Chains A and B, each alone.
Chain A
Amino acid sequence: MLKIKQTVLTLVSFCFLASLWPHPITFPTGSSITIKRHNDDNHLMANYTWIRHLASSLHVEHGYDKALDQHRYNVVGGFNFLLWRLNYLKSQANAYVITQIGYFDKQLDSGLSSRAAVMADWESRRYFVGVGADYNHFFESNHLDSWTAKARFGFAPYLAKYNQLQSWMKVEFEWNDSKIKEYFVVRPIVRFYFKNFLWEVGFSHRGDLHLEFMVNFI
């Protein structure tokens, strides 16, 4: 009965859509810092895990619109929730919800902003599947609202032992929809872990650079 319940929960978790940065919750008293360059935007993310299912998070985003010569800043903070974590002997499945509120500034537009995301993943040492979506809402500038959905599939070319360099080949599909821009990109990514460091490099089919570096403080 328990196995059926776990299987159902795992399948349901794939119905969630999410933004796929590394796990937004680590373990009680653990923290992480991530810096990311993505679609010409710069991101700084930090989180601190209080208990198994709850972390505080901060997300600072800076974007630059070349066509309009405008800088955009969005600073939001909030909580990350681990809905469930299913541990199996050879794999693990997770589902998360992220809720954040903050302030944004884009020259003529500024004010309160909020962000909500859901994400789910399943991974073994060999394979990775993740899906997610996030929605950005700008209270006084609705025309800037946007949502992004992502799906990621990964394959590890070799099985690394503990504390060995681990490599992943991944492909990410990203959909973005907003009043000011819409796009769909396919992004091959190589990801590496070593001890408590994670970094990844990728290029979208449009040529946008994706860089990410994360430190997990254990």
Chain B
Amino acid sequence: MKKIIPVILSCVLVMASWASTINGNLNSENADAIVKVKGMVCSFCSAQLEKFFVKEKKLVQSFNIDMDNNSVYLKFQKGQKMSEKRISEIVEASTKSVDSVTYKTAAK
């Protein structure tokens, strides 16, 4: 029982940290960047995008995946900006393709 509790707590912490970077309220109006993604046809196969953007916490404060508009909305950390090249690398790693990247704010 003593071993189970830390395991459960660790799982909860991991899940909490995972959830902290997904922001369902992020949209084309309040995002710092809009990434149009090609090949994003189901959430089952788009979950890889989530995995990769979660790892980019130094640059990405939060993100949202909008299946209806084939878009990923990014909110950068204060004073940060993810380059188009890096965004493309992440999207390509998830076996999708970038259609376009539009920056909405004058982030550094």
Known interface pairs A89-B70, A89-B99. Does A198 touch B44 (Cβ–Cβ under 8 Å)?
yes
CB B86 to nearest CB in A, in angstroms, measures 16
| Closest chain B residue to A30, Cβ basis | B48
Q: Are B48 and A27 in contact (CB under 8 A)?
A: yes
24 A-B residue pairs with Cβ-Cβ distance under 8 Å, sorted by A, are A28-B93, A87-B38, A87-B96, A87-B97, A88-B38, A89-B70, A91-B41, A92-B39, A92-B41, A125-B42, A125-B67, A160-B42, A161-B66, A162-B46, A162-B67, A163-B43, A166-B44, A193-B42, A193-B43, A193-B44, A196-B44, A216-B44, A216-B47, A218-B47
CB A153 to nearest CB in B, in angstroms, measures 16
- The total of chain B residues at the interface (CB under 8 A) is 25
| Closest chain A residue to B98, Cβ basis | A87
Question: Chain B residues with Cβ under 8 A from A123's Cβ?
Answer: 41-42
Any chain A CB within 8 A of the CB of B29?
A: no
Among A26, A27, A125, A216, point to the contact of B41 (Cβ < 8 A): A125
Question: Chain B residues with Cβ under 8 A from A164's Cβ?
Answer: 43
Using an 8 Å CB-CB cutoff, how does the interface string of A191-218 with B read, 1 for contact, 0 for none?
0010110100000000000000000101
CB B40 to nearest CB in A, in angstroms, measures 8
- The total of chain A residues at the interface (CB under 8 A) is 29
CB A92 to nearest CB in B, in angstroms, measures 4
Point out residues on B near A: beta carbons under 8 Å. 36, 38-39, 41-48, 50-51, 64-68, 70, 93-97, 99
Please report the C-alpha to C-alpha distance between residue A198 and residue B44 in the assembled complex, in whole angstroms. Answer: 8
Q: Are A160 and B67 in contact (CB under 8 A)?
A: yes
Q: Are B42 and A87 in contact (CB under 8 A)?
A: no
Please report the C-alpha to C-alpha distance between residue A180 and residue B43 in the assembled complex, in whole angstroms. Answer: 41
Any chain B CB within 8 A of the CB of A90?
A: yes
Any chain B CB within 8 A of the CB of A137?
A: no
Q: Are B43 and A195 in contact (CB under 8 A)?
A: yes
Q: Are A89 and B65 in contact (CB under 8 A)?
A: no
Point out residues on A near B: beta carbons under 8 Å. 23, 26-28, 30, 52, 85, 87-92, 123-125, 159-164, 166, 193, 195-196, 198, 216, 218
Question: Chain A residues with Cβ under 8 A from B95's Cβ?
Answer: 26-27, 52, 85, 87
The 3 closest A-B pairs by CB, nearest first: A87-B39, A87-B38, A193-B44
Question: Chain B residues with Cβ under 8 A from A90's Cβ?
Answer: 41, 70
CB A14 to nearest CB in B, in angstroms, measures 17
